[in-house]
Structure 1
Amino acid sequence: MMREKWLGSLLLLLFGIFTRALGAFVGINIGTDVTNLPPASDIVAILKANQITHVRLYDADSHMLKALSNSGIEVIVGVTNEEILGIGESPSAAAAWINKNVAAYLPSTNITAVAVGSEVLTAVPNAAPVLVSAMNYLHKALVASNLNFQVKVSTPHHMDIIPRPFPPSTATFDSSWNSTIYQLLQFLKNTNSYYMLNAYPYYGYTKGNGIFPIDYALFRPLPSVKQIVDPNTLFHYNSMFDAMVDAAYYSIDALNFSGIPIVVTESGWPWFGGAKEPDATVENAETFVDNLIKRVLNNSGPPSQLNIPINTYIYELFNEDKRPGPVSEKNWGVFYANGSAVYPLRLGASDQITGNSSVVFCVAKPGADSDKLQNGLNWACGQGQANCTAIQSGQPCYNPDTLENHASYAYNDYYQKKHAVGGTCDFDGTATTTTVDPSTGSCKFTGSSSSSTSGGLSPVTALGPTTPLDGSSSSILQAPKFLYLMSATFLVLVLLCPGGPSSFLPS
């Protein structure tokens, strides 16, 4: 068991290396319960205009798959819930589905995964007994077509199958589904696939009876007195989204599986609702999606899996006005059917570069007790291991030469390096958080978009220098990607070789 855990951790690390090398991504779901759905070619034009590189389809619509041809956009195709029973009972039906809906479009349409159903365990529980069989048959059909290395098979799950997601460290799957989920996880492990999770902080907040503040659901910073902490791990959760993803990781671990990465296949916020849905507003929807994008593109995972970025698909591209249910159910779209935006979708490269505008800084409170400030400064620069060089005499952050300024720099350097693993912004009540960058002139605070210090080793740094040699025309971005892919591939090959490192793995 220890050896399996070790290998599982290594697989997660390799997944993180690959993902970091290629960059975390934010994709989008395309639902079709729309009265005036645009032609497929127009939909692809909208995707390209908004620099959307990943999409999830709920079916395998031929018009969309043809329109996506040669676009480079990565596509998840969907087996509908109605198709699962037939495929789960017939290998030949699964083979026919793959031939018609996947093999026929590759390689021009960049299909990378098959999502088998949507929230099957909670939406169509009668199909649960054949869910894993359907996945197995589809995978075998991919193997027969030599497509299994390019196309993964998984199935999206609702957070409802984790009855008590907080604290994340004690989260477990609903025990009534244990047999099915165990088989599912075994399949994902055997096929090197990933767990698909639909995580909605909107529902976590609106159904939480006031337990959590709305700022927590919207990725907005919380005051230090309201920090959300797992009492067992002391991990700080700066957003409900991170806590949900970690709850799924801990639930997987509770069934003794590891090495299965999580991709969030749905997350979003409705922009309009009924009289009893006051939090479904354009402002909240834009705030959530904007902050979700910035959160995902910072390339890190939740506290328990910091090295595994949380690739995520926004729900959804268009408002699906034909969907049943409350008013909000029809108003999750970022765009109207005519292609105009409900609110701006900021997925461009420029937003990735300036994404640090969402960084939460930790600074000294104005008017804080000077003795407590001095003690906090001494601790941060000493035991807290903050880098306080910049506030020494003659250095860029020495002026203004005040205790508050120096404490702010030290507090923030400590917080940027340690908050993901439990560090707080409190310092005996002398510190507070802010989204306003405190940098001034040549003094750049850690975490600032213009700072050269990141508060930790990046994957590039960990691999060593990547600056091109004299006379080389290779870009600094090309070198680390190549090193990542070569290093990870080499490790996988060594591990799989007979007589390889098994003799020295922990037993």
Structure 2
Amino acid sequence: MAGRAAMLVNLGTVVMTVLTLASFVEGFGVNWGNIASHPLNPDIVVRMLKENKINKVKLFDADSWTMNALAGSGMEVMVGIPNNLLETLADDYGNAKDWVKENITAYMRKDGVNIKYVAVGNEPFLSAYNGSYLKTTFPALKNIHRALKEAGHTDVMKATIPQNAEVYQSANDKPSEGDFRSDVKQIMLDIVKFFHDNDLPFTVNIYPFLSLYLNQHFPVEYAFFDGNGQTIPDNGKNYDNVFDANYDTLVYALNKAGIKDMKIIVGEVGWPTDGHKYATPKLAEKFYAGLMKRLAKDVGTPLRPEKLEVYLLVYSTKT
């Protein structure tokens, strides 16, 4: 119990830091999950977000209590479809049509929910899933997109698939050598072509913390935005943090697929507060402060210098 209490205090401290910084930064969003040890009433969450000028939210499902709380708020919403529904939606277009009717169309009314994106699955090609969703994700996406289009919603919202940055990689940490992971390359090429043909965005979850977690020799400062660590030159561009390098690795992977201008959304970015020697409130605050300063400048990455679209996720690695 003492450990759980400490975790909540640490997480709460970082949340308050992010909310304080949010008062000075506009245009970013936050992730809102409904799995928590002490869940708040959705009406309270919506009010808290709006009071702190956060007007974009990404959900992991279409929970009716949460959706109803968002109705009339004007907040831009990315509605999520859990991975466990992908097979059902892939197998039968009627199921996708019913899902859209019940979870999207039902909220498309005056003073309804301002739905901008529908996230089909969440990191379905993560290697830890051992290919469980390889055969169902793309068919589910196509069925959902078709159902949205048939319902007349595609003028105001887009379907997408939040992928983990693990779906692409680069040799020698050089973004210019980026390409999609070999075991998912063909399906990713099929998906990004569909995205391109239908003007859909690519959504990616980027976690610089994982570089430290997975590699004990990773240069710590390269995970942050202070520019105090090493600088990696690559193809005429200089990278002083792993977030930029990771993002531009995706850009290069898309370029190699023949796609030059696809919109990219960072669906999740964050830093944990517990569970690892680098997962501390102090380092989490450092990461978020650096990220928020970056967002406040409306600058992107060396390859994509335009303003980034980002959804934060404040979390702990302990359960």
Q: 2:143 aligns with which of 115, 132, 137?
A: 137
Deviation at 1:258, TM superposition (A): 2.2
Return the structure number with greater relative CO, CA threshold 8 A, min gap 6: 2
**CA offsets 1:268-320 (integer angstroms, 9 cap, x no match):** 001222xxx111111111111121122123222211122x322111113xx5x
Partner residue, 2:168: 162
Amino acid at match of 1:246: D
Find the counterpart in structure 1 of residue 34 from structure 2.
Answer: 32
Moved more, 293-302 or 186-195: 293-302
Partner of 2:232: 228
Question: In the TM superposition, what is the alpha-carbon distance from 1:24 to its structure 2 partner?
Answer: 7.1
Quote the residue 1:497 is aligned against.
Answer: none
Query: d(CA) in 2 for partners of 1:221 and 1:133?
Result: 42
Give unmatched runs, 5+ long, in structure 2: 1-24
Q: Check whether the contact 2:274–2:280 (CA below 8 A) recurs between aligned residues.
A: yes
Q: TM-score, normalised by structure 2?
A: 0.86
| 1:500 alignment counterpart | none
- Partner residue in 1 for 2:123: 119
1:332-371 to structure 2, matched below 5 A, reads none
What residue number does 2:16 align with? none
Q: CA deviation at 1:251?
A: 1.0
Aligned to 1:280: 279
The correspondence of residues 60-459 of structure 1 with structure 2, limited to 5 A, is 60-107=62-109, 108-122=112-126, 124=129, 125-164=131-170, 166-211=173-218, 213-222=219-228, 226-230=230-234, 233-273=235-275, 277-306=276-305, 308-316=306-314, 319=315, 328-330=316-318
TM-score normalized by structure 1? 0.55
Secondary structure, aligned partner of 1:248: helix
Give the AA of the match of 1:158. Answer: N
Measure how far apart 1:121 and its partner are: 0.9
Tell me if the contact between 1:24 and 1:309 (Cα under 8 Å) persists in the aligned partners. no
The amino acid of 1:189's aligned partner reads H
- Code of the residue aligned with 1:138 in structure 2: it is I
Give the count of matched residue pairs: 290
The code of the aligned residue for 2:298 comes to: N
Contact 1:24 1:311 in 2 (8 A): no
Provide Cα deviations, 1:358-399, integer angstroms capped at 9, x if missing partner.
xxxxxxxxxxxxxxxxxxxxxxxxxxxxxxxxxxxxxxxxxx
Larger relative strand fraction: 2
Give, in whole Å, the separation in 2 of the partners of 1:263 and 1:298.
Answer: 17
The Cα offsets for residues 41-88 of structure 1, whole Å up to 9 and x where unpaired, read as 111122112221111100001011110011111100001000000001
Q: C-alpha distance in 1, partners of 2:192/2:222?
A: 30
Q: Secondary structure at the match of 1:77?
A: strand
Determine the C-alpha separation between the residues in 2 that align with 1:247 and 1:24: 26
- Which deviates the most, 119-128 or 50-59? 119-128
Aligned match of 2:12: none
The aligned counterpart of 1:7 is: none
SS at match of 2:279: coil
Which consecutive residues of structure 1, in runs of 5 or more, have no partner in the other structure?
Answer: 1-22, 320-327, 332-507
- RMSD of aligned C-alpha atoms? 1.7
